[in-house]
Structure formats: C-alpha cells, structure tokens
Amino acid sequence: MPDECIFCRIAAGEAPADVVYEDENFIAFRDILPQAPTHILVIPRMHIASSAELGRGQEQLAGGLIIIAKSLAEKEGMAHRGYRLVINCGSEGAQQVPHLHLHLIGGRQLSGALG
C-alpha cells in the first residue's frame, strides 16, 4: 500500500471518509466535492493506479466496480431515474487521484457533455 495514496489510506481506515459500502475487496465512499446530489466513488482495496494498469485475470475486480455501483444506485433511489458511471484515466482523462475508482453520479439531470 503506497503510504501517500489517500484512497489506500481510506481503504485502510486511516483517513476519514463517508463510507457507504465495503467488503473484502472493495470500498465505496461519498466524494468530498460532490458534482451531484449523489456522488460516490467505488474503489478496489488493492492499489491499482488506473484502468490502464488492469490486466487479464482482473475481470472480477473490474466488473465488481460496476456491480457495486449499480447496487448503490438502487439504494440511492436512482435505478429508474438514471445515473452516470465514470472512470477517468491518466492525464488527458483528467484523473486526479492515482488509485482506480469508479464515479457514481446522479440525483439530478446530467448534461450530455462529457468533456
């Protein structure tokens, strides 16, 4: 676990977060600067810098992010209204925190603009 990684520290319980889900392999918590009424980050506990680091054999890990986000969207009452799932990757993808995370964003009408 890189000591300087804030998401590793959250996963280890060493940094505060509003945790909404956790299991052996994943943890989900509310974004500190929410872009919508619901803005949750789902992360693997394992430090993986970005989606660019994913390889064959990590299908369960990659898919788990989406399945957990889908369940949280239901809990947040967004399943029928719709929501957005986003993974930013690297510099041009505007990734700020170098620990793989899936954004679950919703609770308001989102624009079509992604850029």
Please check whether residue 39 is in contact with residue 19, taking contact to mean a CB–CB distance below 8 angstroms. Answer: no
**Nearest Cα residue to 75 out of 44, 113, 104:** 104
Instruction: Kindly state whether residue 32 participates in binding ligand AMP, applying the rule CB under 6 A.
Output: yes
Comparing CA positions, the residue from 72, 105, 68, 99 lying closest to residue 86 is 105
Confirm or reject binding of residue 31 to ligand AMP (CB under 6 A): yes
* 6 in contact with ligand AMP (CB under 6 A): yes
Q: Considering only CA atoms, which of 74, 81, 76, 84 is closest in space to residue 111?
A: 84
Total binding residues for ligand AMP by CB under 6 A? Answer: 12
Of residues 17, 68, 72, 73, which one binds ligand AMP by CB under 6 A? 17
Residue choice 95, 102, 105, 106 for contact with ligand AMP (CB under 6 A)? 95
Q: How far is the CB of 42 from ligand AMP (least distance, A)?
A: 12
